[in-house]
Structure 1
Amino acid sequence: MTATTGTTGTTGTSIVFECEYQGRRYAGHGLPQPGSPLELYPVAAGQLHAALVAGSGPQDLGPAVTGESAPAEVALDDPGLRFLPPLLPTAGDNSLINGFMGTHRTKFDRAPEPDEEFIPPNYYIKGFGSWLRMPEEPLLTPADPVWLLEEPEVVLVYANDDQGVPHYAGYTFGNDLNDIGLHLQKPWAWTPYAKLCETSIAPYLFLDAPPERVTGSVTIERDGAKAWYGDFSCGADSIFHRVPDMTEYLFSYPALRRPGLVNYLFLGADKATYHDGFRIEDGDRMVLDVSSHGVVLANEVRYWDRSAPAVPRPQ
């Protein structure tokens, strides 16, 4: 992959992103740089998806961004600008947030053998892609979480063609916020409830193979001050399972090969705040600094408002 340069700066691999601005959909290259305007190219909904499934791989997404239109320059702090999850379809029910659990090597009591038989890790479906939240947007949780846990993860993005064949688009990073306290009360039964916290994702799609090494840090801010800090790693070198085995097994299920479906596949996280005895509270700000890749994903935690109207009981 070649480096991407220009008003969005220089990156180690090609990166594309999509956004909305003044009611239109745009795309751009690279990671935004503070103080520099974004160069945005108008794109139709599904344009990058179509380029991916018609081409030979993620490298075909870069040229699909620019097309023949001249770019518009937009300030990064323009209030009319909102980034989008990579390849998010206009129809919100045709994309899926899902992922693996218990994948990291620190959660096993041994190292994997080179030719060890693949045993798939636990899996979950969290919701539609339209439920994903962007950096600096709040993440909503149930009103009474038992013990929240942030989870910095690599997110693989796949888009299915009209025959349901998955095409790998690239990777980004996400925070799979969940209620690990509830999960641990009944791991065999309550995990789906524990996952019903909102999830954030970075809009920047790295057009490269799943990363071998990803490192960074988590900072929990409370009332504007640092309340907790810790390092993390979430690349393939930190995962017990082989990533190709994980994806091949998952896409052997026909339900995930629905034509046109976009999959946001979370690869799992290492130990973090919960394992250090720290409790994330309402109003805390989680800052995930993926320093190895120049991406920061920050979101405030908000508990569900207890005063919200109750759901009527069926008569």
Structure 2
Amino acid sequence: MRLIQCVHQGQVRAALVESEEQVRLLDCDTYTLANRAISAGQPMSDAVTAAMADTRLDYQALVDDKRLLPPLTHPDPAHCLVTGTGLTHLGSADTRSAMHAQSQKQAQAAEEDMTDSMRMFKLGVEGGKPNAGETGAQPEWFYKGDGQCVMAPEAEIPSPAFAQDAGEEPELAGLYVIGEEGLPWRVGYAIGNEFSDHVTERFNYLWLAHSKLRACSFGPELLIGELPAHLEGTSSIQRNGEILWKKPFLTGEANMAHSLANLEYHHFKYPGFRRPGDVHVHFFGTATLSFADNIKVREGDRFEICINEFGRPLRNSLRIETDTPAVTVKAL
């Protein structure tokens, strides 16, 4: 079962994807629907069935009219927290090493000779999938922003004028709502473009935090239910209607050093991330970047990320901002 969100008659509404051509409108948005399911103690799929309206909409028309929204949003963007984890996939250390111009042999090097990135990756491989009841290794973690940094599917992703790079990151994202008792509830999963500044990160890994404070996108469809362990996708960049770069990627737990449960635990173990009513979007990492293949994107390039199990691809074009707003701090 897959959902989208769209603008219909001036309101945010969720809709069930019935086919590639048609969606069936629900009587509320996804956030309201998730809270109904939590309150009723029922699966999200049951809440969807109960909320179905008779109205059906043309899916392509929603795309063409720019009425698609991220599949889960909060009425107040400040109460949507966007975060992620890195070095989680079995190929991610090689990608990170290539990006930082380091030898891949470091993965087998003596502990004292390893970079921090390689050491973190090794921790995940050895302890990222703990047995039930055990606590696994902590992953690399980062903060991207609140709901204001999320761009809708088919919309432009802005890159600030001070950025040194504007690169895609094809990932899975977990979408969550925190219940009234402070318990995280996973609504489902979506394709994500985590989008980062890899040149800034490459200069010094301590600038990772800066490199992640960028816009992102996820959707257009939210997958409800169990996530397949093995997923195969394609990430591509188009320029002037032609393919500039295209590469397959693997995700899902079978291709990860960490279990999703371990990544979720190490995020939600902090009380500040269990504030009732909040929405969380958490990116699970990737091992495939065009930047690692020396691709330099330009204004107007279009990113497209596709995983068949998630329906329509996530597509966004790049907009490079030309001005950096003057920021001054005044004393009171």
Both structures adopt the same fold (TM-score exceeding 0.5): yes
- Measured at CA, do residues 230 and 209 of structure 1 come closer, stay the same or move farther in structure 2, by a change above 3 Å? same
**Which residue matches 1:219?**
236
Aligned length: 296
Percent identity of the aligned residues?
Answer: 25
Q: Secondary structure at the match of 2:60?
A: coil
Q: Relative to 1, partners in 2 of residues 1:293 and 1:27: Cα closer, same or farther, differing over 3 Å?
A: closer
Give the letter for the 2:193 counterpart: N
Pairing partner for 1:90 from 75, 91, 94? 75
1:249 shift after superposition: 2.3
Structure 1 unmatched ranges of 5 or more: 1-13
1:70 and 2:54 aligned: yes
Corresponding residue of 1:26 = 13
Alignment-derived partner of residue 137 in structure 2: 119
Q: Retained in 1: the 8 A contact 2:18–2:24? A: no
Distance 1:149 1:259, change over 3 A: same
TM-score, length of structure 2 as denominator length: 0.81
The CA distance in 2 between the partners of 1:86 and 1:30, in whole Å, is 11
Q: What is the TM-score with the length of structure 1 in the denominator?
A: 0.85
1:256 Cα deviation from its structure 2 partner: 0.4
Are the structure 2 counterparts of residues 45 and 229 from structure 1 closer, same or farther at C-alpha, using a change threshold of 3 Å?
closer
2:291 aligned with 1:291? no
Corresponding position of 1:133: 151
Q: Distance in 2 between matches of 1:65 and 1:181?
A: 46
| 3-state SS in 1 of match to 2:72 | coil
**Residue 191 to residue 44, structure 1, CA distance change in 2 (3 Å):** closer
Distance 2:45 2:275 in 1: 23
Match of 2:90 among 82, 88, 105: 105
Return the alpha-carbon distance in structure 1 between the equivalents of residues 259 and 301 of structure 2.
Answer: 34
What is the rounded CA distance, in whole Å, between the counterparts of 2:233 and 2:28 in structure 1?
Answer: 32
| Residue 248 (structure 1) aligns with | 265
Which amino acid is the alignment partner of residue 90 of structure 1? P
Could you say if the C-alpha distance between residues 57 and 39 of structure 1 is closer, same or farther in structure 2, counting changes exceeding 3 Å? closer
Q: How does 1:189-208 map to 2 (within 5 A)?
A: 190-208=207-225
Q: State the AA in 1 paired with 2:236.
A: T
Deviation at 1:263, TM superposition (A): 0.8
Q: Could you give the per-residue CA deviations for residues 53-103 of structure 1, whole angstroms, max 9, x where no partner exists?
A: 12243333422431xx43254563156662222331212111111110111
* Deviation larger for 79-88 or 23-32: 79-88
Q: Which amino acid aligns with 1:159?
A: V
Partners of 2:218 and 2:30 lie apart in 1 by: 19
- 1:57, 1:169 within 8 Å by CA — same for their partners in 2? no
SS in 2 for 1:105: coil
Aligned alpha-carbon RMSD (Å): 2.4
> Which residue of 2 is the match for residue 8 of structure 1?
none
1:17 equivalent to 2:4? Answer yes
Q: Matched residue of 2:91: which SS? A: helix
Separation in 1, partners of 2:130, 2:210: 35
Sort the Cα spacing of 1:115 and 1:92 in 2 relative to 1 into closer, same or farther, 3 A.
closer
- Answer with 279-288 or 143-152: which moved more: 143-152
Amino acid of the structure 1 residue aligned with 2:191: F
Unaligned runs of 5+ in 2: 94-106, 108-121
Equivalent residue letter for 1:167: W
Taking the aligned partners of 1:115 and 1:50, their CA distance within structure 2 comes to 30
User: Which range moves more in the overlay, 226-235 or 79-88?
Assistant: 79-88
Alignment of 1:22-61 (within 5 A): 22-30=9-17, 32-33=19-20, 36-43=21-28, 46-54=31-39, 55-61=41-47
| 2:197 aligned residue (179, 196, 199) | 179
1:124–1:192 CA contact under 8 A, matched in 2: yes
